[in-house]
Structures are given as C-alpha cells and as structure tokens.
Chains A and B, each alone.
Chain A
Amino acid sequence: MDIKIENLTVCYGKHEVLKDLNFLFEKNHIYAILGPNGCGKTTLVDRIAKDFSKTSDISYIAQETLGELELKAYDVVSLGRYNPKDFYHSLTREDKEKIEKAMSDMDISHVQDRNFDTLSGGEKQRIQIARALAKDYEWLLCDEPTSSLDVKHQVLFARTVKRINEEGKSVIVVLHDINLASSIADRILLMKDGRIYKAGIPSEVLTEENLRACFNTDFVRIQNEDRNIINFIYNV
C-alpha cells in the first residue's frame, strides 16, 4: 500500500519540525531522504512508522543506539519474528530460516551466540538491520542504518536493499551519504527546514545547485553515464 502524508505538521514545544508536509510514497520504490541536521528527517520517518504501522506492515530501524538489552545477538534478531497473536512465541522452522537468512545477509552470523551488549557499534547496527529484515513487512523504514558501518558493510546493506526491493518490498531510508543514496535509491527526497525541498529521480534532484541550497556547501557532480552513477565530491 502507498503511504500518503497529508498536511503533516509536527512541533516540539513551539518549534515546528515538520511544516505542513504533503507527499505520496509509492510502493515498490526505494526512497532516500537527505538533508542537513535538524531538517526533520528522523521526525518524518518516525511519524510514518507510528502512523502507518496499524494499516501497513512496517519494519523500522530507529536511529537511536540501543541501551543494554541483556540478550544474545541471536535473540535480538529473533525478536524480528515476534507475533503478538502467537501466545507461545516459539520459533517455527520458517522463523528460524528467516532469522538465519537475515543474519547471513548482514554478514553477522558469526556473533550470534555473543551478548549483544558486548558487540561493536557496527555489529550492533548489523544485528538491528537483520532484526528488521527478519520481520514480515511491506515497507522497510531505516533511519541512518549505515552510520556505524564500514564500507564493505555499507555496500552489503545497499545490495540487500536493492534485492529486497526487487522482491517487491518498498524502502524509505534516511542517509547522510549522498553517494550511497544515489546508488541505492530510485527516488530522492531533499529536505530543508521541515519541508521537502525537492523530490524525484536522483539525476534530477541531485544537482550541484539543489545540494548547495540545502547544505550550504559546494559540491562537484561527477556523472558516469555508462554505469548510470552520479557521484559528488566536496571541498573542505
């Protein structure tokens, strides 16, 4: 099902974080949300997860790092299979297969018997992604899922997202890495000051001009037409 945002305004106290937002997230796409700190990206995906979890199957990866869970890494991923209607919460063979698949997708099977709390930041993040992938879902919502990942696992995440999209899932992902966004997503939302500044396909939205207007930083766009890749470098 599509996710339709209508006249969404969110305030924290007197501060308006989202200002009268309207947008239609169509299914079977990968949306990347980009924008400077404080522009409302997290608030937007958080609200979508909250408001649409009753009507759509949503799997959500929050930005907040988890405190101590006191659980084995495997048990954290197995929470992905939690079903409120199943009283006994015993894992079926299908559940176990999905958990193992999600862990191997995120290259994290080797830590399954370790205490989650003792894992590194990147390992915890991969466990979190695996937990979200193990859930039954229609929309995957991720808020900066790659912030602690090394390059190898960022690429792994990007490939996994593309694969699940080919399998019919829809994705909304908040990212800071513009290059990663342009390689994962087929739709980009550029946000600024609680509003959607530009939205559309990467080649149209990701221009030097738009990015400069959003981030107040100079970018140089390099396009590889053969491989259909847009990359940016920026001056420090």
Chain B
Amino acid sequence: MKQHKFVSKFNTGFKVILALLVLLMLMLAASVMGAASISCREVINAVLGKEVSKAAYTILFKVRFPRIITSICVGGLLAVVGALMQGIFKNKMADPSVMGISGGAGLGASLIIVLDIKNVYVGISAVGIGALIGAAVTHMIILSVIAVTSRKGISSVSSTLLSGIALSSFTSSMITVIMALHRDNMEKVYMWMLGSFSASTQEKAIFLSILSLILVPLIMIIAPQIDILKLGSTTALTYGINPKSLMRKVLTISSVAVAFTVASSGIIGFVGLVIPHIVSFFGIRRMRPKILMSFIVGAIFVLLSDSVARSIMAPSELPVGAITSLIGAPYFLILLIRGREGRE
C-alpha cells in the first residue's frame, strides 16, 4: 500500500510523538465530556495534584479517568495483537479473533451471565473470570492442536488459523444456543458481546495499565523476529529463531492480552483488523515501530469511539463495539481508495 505523501517525509519518531499528542488531547477532551460539567483547567489541576472540588475529583478519578485508561489499554492491546496476528500469519485479514480466543472468552462470559453469578474478585466481575477461563481453555485447545499437527508435518500457521476459525465458529454457535435457551438473558448477553466501557473501575484501569506496560515492551522485544519469519521458516532458523517457539510465544502473549481485554469490556471488533493497516498507510512497516504505533493509534481510535458512544445519545449509551465499525469502516475505505495500491 502506498503511504500518504504528507506523512512520508516525517520519520517514525516524529509520527509517534504526533500520535501521542493527539492521544493526550483526546484524553483531555474525553475528561471534560459528560453530564457533569468539568472544565479543562479542573482536569489539568486534578492530574497535577492541585486542589479541585470534591465532586469533580470523585467524578474524574472514580468514573472518567478509569474509563479513559481502560479504553486506551483495550484499544491499544487489541491493535497490537492485530498487528502481531497479521505479521505471524502473513495474512492481512488476520485479527485477534482468528485465534478463537475472543470467541472462547465470549462463551465463558455468556455462561456466567445466564447462570446469573454476580460476585466480584480482585476488581474483576464473575463475567470477567468466566471470559478468562473460556479464553484459557480455547488457548489450550489450539496449542494442543498445533502440537499434534506439527508432528504430522503440517505447518503451525495453517493449523492455528484453521483451528482458530473452527473454534470461533463453534463458540459463536454455542453462544447462540445459550441465548436461545435463556431468552430472558438474551439482551444482557448480546449487549455484553458488543462491548462497553461503562463498567470501568479504578482497579480494572490500574490492572490493564500494568498489563499493557508489561506486554507491549515484551512484544516489542520479539517483534523483529516476526519480520525475519516472513522470509520463511528455514531462513528464520539460520538467524537462530525457532519459528515454532516464536509462534507459541506470540500466541500466548496475544491470548493473555485478548483474554483480559474481553474480560474487562466485552468483544470490541474491527480495531485489531484495521489499526495495523492504518499504521502501514502512515508508512510504518517494520514490526517494532508498528507495534508501538498500533498501540497508540488503537488507543486513539477506541477512546474516540467510546467518547462518541457515550455522548451521541446521552444520557443513554451505544455499545462501543458497534461504534468502532461505524467510524472505522468509512475511514478505512477512504484510506484504501486514496492510498492506491501497486507500483509507485
């Protein structure tokens, strides 16, 4: 894909700083937005630890900041996993759902919703725990399928993709069956599946921040190996990279990231598929800067979508998972058309 002329002049570092500034401005705007009116000055004072009114302090630190941080982490992590999936599977259509992990998490969460368990453990609701267990089970199944098929000489790329698709299809059918059997809870399950940040808490925000601060640098460390893997698995071996163990590492890190994002805010589609492409459009193609930039752009995109989701029909909220596609798809089509593919 050809990159835009206006961005091709700038180097990667400049683009990252620019994106960070956009994210900061959006964070400020999102903190100001909402039913209770809080000014920019109050937000800045609150962040800098200066004195603000008690009401503003409570709203900012208990409601708005946790929600902003959660949407940034979820958006960033989903975009990073999308970039990883597209890189390791050498497939532009890959996204976090190809591993079947989000489907597994969705199934686990749906079961808890219809069983009506409402306990909260370390800031994570029972639904979140259900999602984590669902994701873990799916991950185990995929790793065992890879282990068995690789002994038969089938490439781990195709077996992972195929088993992921099969599991995604299986879990979505199971969710449909669960919804059909529990019609009274159908709406709850459905709305959960579409994703929302309305239940963000301080604990969740802190947990997801720590998770992002651990996972993103970890992914950036192994990122250059994915560039090498694109040259073929035998070539990767001549650089001392074991493709199978790299695949296991990437799948495990991605599963952890997806499991916690789905557990905290449901299934938010489109981000993981589209953000890595948008980053490529901006001329960032090597894996390591792409991971960093995907996190920032994913964060911007989901924060923007969530702000739209909660303000457009205030006081009621739209599911953010629907908004991401509503905003993202037209923008993506415009980029596709303007970015003319082919020979320069």
A binding-site residues for B, Cβ under 8 Å: 12, 46, 49-50, 53, 58-62, 64, 66-72, 75, 79, 82, 84, 87, 89, 114-115, 118, 131, 135
Q: Mark B308-344, 1 if CB is under 8 A from A, else 0.
A: 0000000000000000000000000000000000111
Given A82-B224, A82-B228, A118-B342, CB of A59 within 8 Å of CB of B234? no
| B92 sits at the interface (CB 8 A) | yes
C-alpha spacing A158/B288, complex, angstroms:
36
B binding-site residues for A, Cβ under 8 Å: 1-2, 90, 92, 153, 221, 224-225, 227-228, 230-232, 234-235, 237-241, 280, 285-286, 288, 342-344
Nearest neighbor of B237 in chain A, beta-carbon distance: A53
Judging by beta carbons under 8 Å apart, are A118 and B344 in contact?
yes
**What are 15 A-B residue pairs whose CB atoms fall within 8 Å in the complex?**
A50-B234, A53-B237, A58-B238, A59-B238, A60-B238, A61-B235, A71-B286, A72-B285, A82-B224, A82-B239, A84-B225, A84-B239, A89-B224, A131-B231, A135-B239
Interface core residue of A66, A70, A79, A114 (most chain B CB under 10 Å): A70
C-alpha spacing A63/B10, complex, angstroms:
36
Interface core residue of B2, B280, B285 (most chain A CB under 10 Å): B285
Given A62-B232, A64-B232, CB of A50 within 8 Å of CB of B237? yes
Interface core residue of B1, B90, B227, B231 (most chain A CB under 10 Å): B231
**Those 9 A-B pairs whose CB atoms lie nearest each other, nearest first:** A53-B238, A62-B232, A58-B238, A118-B343, A60-B238, A84-B240, A53-B237, A70-B285, A49-B234
Given A59-B238, A71-B285, CB of A66 within 8 Å of CB of B232? yes
Q: What residues of B have a CB within 8 angstroms of the CB of A135 in the complex?
A: 238-239
C-alpha spacing A225/B1, complex, angstroms:
53
C-alpha spacing A135/B286, complex, angstroms:
18
Q: What residues of A have a CB within 8 angstroms of the CB of B227 in the complex?
A: 71, 75, 79, 82
Judging by beta carbons under 8 Å apart, are A89 and B288 in contact?
yes
C-alpha spacing A175/B112, complex, angstroms:
61
Judging by beta carbons under 8 Å apart, are A66 and B234 in contact?
no
Q: What residues of A have a CB within 8 angstroms of the CB of B239 in the complex?
A: 82, 84, 135
User: Beyond the given A60-B238, A79-B231, A84-B241, could you list 17 further A-B residue pairs with CB under 8 A, ordered by the A residue number?
Assistant: A12-B153, A46-B234, A49-B234, A50-B234, A59-B238, A60-B234, A62-B234, A66-B232, A70-B1, A71-B227, A71-B286, A75-B286, A82-B239, A87-B221, A89-B288, A115-B1, A118-B344
C-alpha spacing A75/B235, complex, angstroms:
16
Q: What residues of A have a CB within 8 angstroms of the CB of B288 in the complex?
A: 89
C-alpha spacing A61/B2, complex, angstroms:
27
Interface core residue of B2, B225, B227, B343 (most chain A CB under 10 Å): B227
Given A79-B227, A79-B228, CB of A62 within 8 Å of CB of B241? no
Q: What residues of B have a CB within 8 angstroms of the CB of A71 in the complex?
A: 227, 230, 285-286
Partner of A115 from the list B2, B90, B225, B232 (CB cut-off 8 Å) is B2
Nearest neighbor of A143 in chain B, beta-carbon distance: B234
Nearest neighbor of A116 in chain B, beta-carbon distance: B285
Q: What residues of A have a CB within 8 angstroms of the CB of B342 in the complex?
A: 118
Judging by beta carbons under 8 Å apart, are B344 and A115 in contact?
yes
C-alpha spacing A59/B225, complex, angstroms:
16
Judging by beta carbons under 8 Å apart, are A75 and B224 in contact?
no
Q: What residues of A have a CB within 8 angstroms of the CB of B232 in the complex?
A: 62, 64, 66
C-alpha spacing A50/B232, complex, angstroms:
12
Nearest neighbor of B153 in chain A, beta-carbon distance: A12
A10 to chain B, nearest CB (A): 10
Q: What residues of B have a CB within 8 angstroms of the CB of A49 in the complex?
A: 234-235, 237-238
A131 to chain B, nearest CB (A): 7
Q: What residues of A have a CB within 8 angstroms of the CB of B344 in the complex?
A: 114-115, 118
Judging by beta carbons under 8 Å apart, are B240 and A69 in contact?
no
C-alpha spacing A68/B231, complex, angstroms:
10
Partner of B90 from the list A12, A67, A118 (CB cut-off 8 Å) is A67
B226 to chain A, nearest CB (A): 11
Q: What residues of B have a CB within 8 angstroms of the CB of A89 in the complex?
A: 224, 288
Nearest neighbor of A89 in chain B, beta-carbon distance: B224
Judging by beta carbons under 8 Å apart, are B235 and A62 in contact?
yes
C-alpha spacing A185/B230, complex, angstroms:
30
A75 to chain B, nearest CB (A): 6
Partner of B235 from the list A60, A67, A68, A84 (CB cut-off 8 Å) is A60
